[in-house]
Structure 1
Amino acid sequence: MKLANQVAIVTGGGGAIGRAIGRQLAEEGATVVLFDLFKDGAEQAAAEINALGKGRAVPCVANVSVYADTCAAVDKVVQDFGRIDILVNCAGGSARDKMRVYHEQTMEVVNWMLGANLFGPLHCIHAVSKHMVKAKSGRIINITSIVALNGKPACTEYAAAKGAIIAASKCLAMELGPHNITVNCVAPGLVERRELTPQLEANLAYRHSCVNRACRQDDIANMVRFLALPESDYITGQNIAVDGGRSLGLKGDDVRKIPDL
């Protein structure tokens, strides 16, 4: 197990992608602290990971969009475990039920989206990176989106936040590289959260990828896992799309209207 004795923070650890990332890091032997706004989700995810008998998962209720809350949670991790080796900023999301074209969007939603998807990661990086600099080692991995690369209607504030994180990650890679800290981004395509029936998967694969299946949570977690391992220590400042080729043309966002089944 290549991450034995290492400590990882995964924000949004109670969500579908966050818990897949936490599980894969734990499978490599890491102690994974799952930050989440919701206690039940964090505890459930930690229990599922611990039941596998590899690594260790610990739930932690934290609102990363509030800097003081973030600092308190990070300080608790250092107090309990003495180190932070990996930070995965996964909290946030596009809030699909709140998506609107920008001129019809409310500023409450805009501010919420920026808080979760931009300020949340920046808060965590600011709180964690000083510990990594002191240790002269670390991995920071930010979950972004292909929407930040190619755009999409009704996603202006989301794209703005994710695009800003990509830009910030390039600057941070330059600043933190001399301290043996890498900073990278993983940009998912559409990750389906429903049960994938054969008919639904065929529909999603046709609309949203260039390969014959839909994107799964583990597809994203696989890349995060790689970026946390020693084999990736010469990769930094990159935004890696994991989308089945969707960003080659944002397949599915064209004039064809195929209803979800």
Structure 2
Amino acid sequence: MFNLTGMTALVTGASGGIGSSVARALAAQGARLAISGSNAEKLRAFRDELDDHRPQHLQEVDHVAIACNLGDADQVEKLVPAALESLGKIDILVNNAGITRDNLAMRMKDEEWDQVIRINLESTFRLMRAVTKPMMKARFGRIVNVTSVVGTTGNPGQMNYCAAKGGITAMSKSLAQELATRGVTVNCIAPGFIRTPMTDVLPDAQKEALNARIPIGRMGEGEEIAAAAVFLASKEAAYVTGQTIHVNGGMVMV
């Protein structure tokens, strides 16, 4: 079950905390990956790590690294063609990359709004648009967009980020309806508080306060987001589209 052998995937933000977990999980299930990120050196090192830890029966599978600045529309437009050239096809697209530029609304600068919308929302639109035609032609595709719990709840100081994540959810529902009859599904994963290198450095008191808001009593792990991604990417998820899987330990029950 959830065997992705023979399938290919493009994953953005692949060398980050959640992105690397998703990439490892897809690769472990047999998918061949094109991993993308803005830091070319870090990306190549992660590609080498994936290659070194291939399942025994997939020793011939080689992954590819494609650096891309998602804030540059020209680079974004070239990413899917580059992945198609390397992989031959794209069965799975995981839009995971994102940034924050937090500020209270009254103090938020235009550039803080523009950067978050451009990288988090606009690049997701461009990449979904780019894979639509080849996936429709193949009559198979899995688009998985990583959003956030705050795209549903809102969060003070994150008007730009919440707008982008909420927008991705709405875009996904629209595209899901457009592609449903062609065997292409479009879904979202909305993480809650996930343990990453960024949250590891928080003071213990702040971690305890965060955990107190979560019924399960702890932050999630990247692997728990990755598990949802593997399911949504699989053939077994053919009847799931236009949905958001909330992985938040019960912090928000939608």
**Fold-level similarity (TM above 0.5):** yes
Identity %: 32
Higher relative contact order (CA 8 A, sep 6+): 2
Gaps of 5+ in 2: 56-60
1:19, CA displacement in angstroms? 0.8
State the SS of the aligned residue for 1:246: coil
Aligned to 1:13: 14
Which residue of structure 2 aligns with residue 211 of structure 1? 216
Decide which of 225, 241, 246 is 2:230's aligned counterpart: 225
- Give yes or no for the alignment of 1:86 onto 2:95: no
Q: Secondary structure at the residue paired with 1:140?
A: strand
Which residue identity does 1:107 align to in structure 2?
D
Q: Distance in 1 between matches of 2:209 and 2:7?
A: 37
Secondary structure in structure 2 of the residue aligned to 1:241: strand
Q: Which residue is 2:37 aligned to?
A: 36
1:52 to partner: Cα distance: 1.1
Match of residue 63, structure 1, among 57, 62, 69: 69
Check the 8 A contact 1:23/1:49 in 2, yes or no: yes
The CA distance in 2 between the partners of 1:61 and 1:113, in whole Å, is: 19
Closer, same or farther: CA 148–230 of 1 in aligned 2, 3 Å:
same
Which position in structure 1 is the counterpart of 2:148? 145
Select between 236-245 and 70-79 the one with higher mean Cα deviation: 70-79
Q: CA RMSD in A?
A: 2.1
Deviation digits for residues 41-71 of structure 1, max 9, x if unmatched?
Answer: 2112212222212354321101233332123
- The answer to whether the 8 A contact 2:143-2:185 is kept is yes
The alpha-carbon deviation at position 204 of structure 1 amounts to 5.8
What is the DSSP-based 3-state SS (H/G/I as helix, E as strand, rest coil) of the residue aligned with 1:210? Answer: coil
- TM-score, normalised by the number of residues in structure 2: 0.90
Q: Match of 2:116, as an amino acid?
A: M
8 Å contact kept, 2:64–2:86: no
Tell me, yes or no, if the aligned pair for 1:136 and 1:180 is still in contact at 8 Å: yes
In 2, Cα distance between equivalents of 1:240 and 1:231: 15
Q: Cα deviation per residue 1:8-55 (whole Å; 9 max; x = unaligned)?
A: 000111111111100000001111111111102211221222221235
Aligned to 2:58: none
Instruction: State how far apart, in whole Å, the 1-side matches of 2:129 and 2:3 are.
Output: 26
**Partners of 2:110 and 2:212 in 1: CA distance:** 31
Partner SS state of residue 114, structure 2: helix
Aligned to 1:128: 131
- Is the deviation greater in 219-228 or in 43-52? 43-52
| Matching residue within 116, 119, 127 for 1:116 | 119
Name the counterpart of 1:252. Answer: none
* SS of corresponding position for 2:90: coil
1:202 and 1:99 map into 2 onto residues whose CA distance is: 19
1: distance between equivalents of 2:102 and 2:83?
35
* Conserved 8 A contact 2:66-2:83: no
For residues 148-191 of structure 1, the C-alpha deviation after alignment (integer angstroms, 9 at most, x for no partner) is: 11111001010001111101111100001111000000000011
Deviates more, 1:163-172 or 1:76-85: 76-85
Q: What is the CA distance between 1:246 and its match in structure 2?
A: 1.1
Residue number in structure 2 paired with 1:258: none
Which of 186, 192, 201 pairs up with 1:183? 186
How many residues are matched? 245
Return the TM-score normalized by structure 1: 0.88
Q: 1:166 maps to what in 2? A: 169
1:201–1:31 CA distance, 2 compared to 1 (3 A): farther
- Letter paired with 1:219: E
C-alpha distance in 2, partners of 1:187/1:193? 16
